[in-house]
């Protein structure tokens, strides 16, 4: 954002060299940001579609350069136009890359990804619209609105980075590990130890405590900050990872595994729980899955107990 602001200021001051440097910095930083957060959040490289689109870069930039060269007689304007075109394209491409994070951040990602892509496109049209006097205030207004929208998108998407750090969990009284427990055992043995502890809970049946970070699992999501869809397993994993990263020794509670299995299938539930178990091991936390033996088939129960330790059911 600092680099983009620097670019806007240099444009107002008509400092050509400073403008070109700031443009290059802006596109480079946006591209780096998009690549890093995509790989970090998804745990993998961008999709085949992204690479396919990226492979068209030479064709797009050569076409853009030819068009700019045909329109402008001045060598300086041509060079400036090419700089804007290349940097604008990479900013646009950054927006395309991070769009895949919508599975984690939901519709909020549309604001961030969309504003980033539009900033890139607006920068690409700059060489063509700059000579038009009456468009100057309109272009500046568009750039300002897009910049503010981008700032808002960054805030709403990434404020969850510090969400769990407001009240970082201390070490709980429970043992580390992953446990499969009945609702009765949980209420009698575990709940009293967790009333004042900042548990991360994905629940449908238990009320929990005001100290908990609670997400109600429902198909009728009305509040993105408090509700979560049973099919949104990637977001549950992402929230769990950030919670455990905030402080080792965190406790995650899930009281509706059968509900998750209903919407995702039993195999998907197993993979989800196995991933959570691995996270808990890495960050030395505790995973508690509340369920009843009677709701599962024998084969399913055996597989569940291979992933989670059965505790006094």
Write the pLDDT tens digit of every residue in 287-300. 999 999 889 999 99
Does residue 76 carry a pLDDT above 70?
Answer: no
* CB-CB neighbours of 275 under 10 Å: 16
Task: Please tell me the distance from the alpha carbon of residue 126 to that of residue 190, in angstroms, as a whole number.
Answer: 62
Please enumerate in sequence order all residues whose Cβ is within 8 A of that of 117, keeping only pairs 6 or more positions apart, or say none: 91, 92, 94, 95, 96
| C-alpha to C-alpha distance for 115 and 123, rounded to whole angstroms | 12
Rounded distance between C-alpha atoms, residue 193 and residue 188, angstroms: 10
What topology does CATH give the domain 164-310?
A: Rossmann fold (3.40.50)
Looking at per-residue pLDDT, the higher value among 211 and 9 belongs to 211
Is the confidence at residue 123, as pLDDT, over 50?
A: yes
Using the structure block, give the residue that is written with the tokens 């060299």. Answer: 17
So what's the pLDDT on residue 245? 81
Tell me the pTM: 0.59
Maximum mean pLDDT: which of 34-48, 124-138, 236-250 = 236-250
Which of 44-58, 104-118, 174-188, 284-298 is least confident? 44-58
The residues, ordered by sequence, that sit 6+ positions from 227 with a Cβ below 8 Å of its Cβ are 215, 216, 217, 218, 220, 221
Query: Residue 263 has what pLDDT?
Result: 93
Q: For residue range 223-259, list pLDDT tens digits in order.
A: 766 888 899 898 899 889 888 887 778 899 999 999 9
Residue 10 has pLDDT above 70, yes or no: no
Question: Does residue 169 register a pLDDT over 70?
Answer: no
Which residue ranges make up each domain of the chain?
2-161, 164-310
> Which region among 65-69, 173-177, 186-190, 218-222 has the lowest average model confidence (pLDDT)?
65-69
Best CA proximity match to 80, nearest among 22, 139, 142: 22
CB atoms within 10 A of CB 166: 9
Least confident of 10-14, 32-36, 75-79, 139-143: 10-14
179 CB burial (10 A radius; 0-12, 13-18, 19+): buried
pLDDT score of 313 more than 50: no
């Amino acid at each position: 954002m600092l680099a983009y602001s620097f670019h806007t200021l240099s444009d107002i001051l008509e400092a050509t060299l400073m403008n070109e440097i700031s443009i290059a910095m802006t596109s480079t930083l946006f591209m780096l940001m998009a690549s890093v957060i995509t790989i970090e959040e998804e745990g993998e490289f961008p999709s085949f579609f992204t690479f396919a689109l990226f492979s068209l870069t030479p064709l797009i930039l050569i076409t853009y350069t030819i068009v700019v060269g045909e329109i402008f007689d001045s060598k300086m304007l041509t060079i400036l136009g090419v700089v804007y075109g290349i940097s604008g394209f990479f900013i646009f491409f950054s927006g395309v890359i991070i769009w895949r994070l919508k599975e984690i951040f939901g519709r909020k990602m549309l604001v961030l990804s969309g504003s980033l892509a539009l900033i890139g496109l607006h920068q690409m049209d700059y060489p063509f619209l700059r000579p038009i006097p009456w468009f100057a205030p309109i272009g500046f207004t568009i750039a300002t609105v897009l910049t503010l929208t981008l700032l808002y998108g960054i805030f709403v998407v990434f404020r969850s980075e510090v969400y769990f750090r407001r009240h970082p969990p201390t070490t709980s009284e429970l043992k580390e590990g992953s446990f499969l427990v009945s609702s009765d055992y949980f209420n009698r043995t575990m709940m009293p130890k967790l009333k004042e502890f900042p548990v991360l809970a994905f629940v449908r049946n238990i009320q929990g405590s005001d100290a908990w970070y609670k997400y109600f699992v429902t198909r009728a999501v009305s509040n993105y900050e408090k509700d979560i869809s049973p099919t949104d397993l990637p977001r549950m994993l992402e929230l769990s990872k950030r919670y455990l990263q905030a402080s080792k020794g965190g406790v995650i509670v899930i009281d509706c595994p059968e509900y998750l299995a209903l919407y995702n299938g039993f195999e998907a539930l197993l993979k989800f729980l196995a991933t959570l178990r691995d996270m808990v091991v890495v960050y030395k936390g505790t995973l508690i899955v509340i369920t009843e033996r009677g709701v599962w088939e024998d084969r399913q129960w055996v597989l569940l107990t291979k992933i989670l330790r059965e505790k006094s059911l």
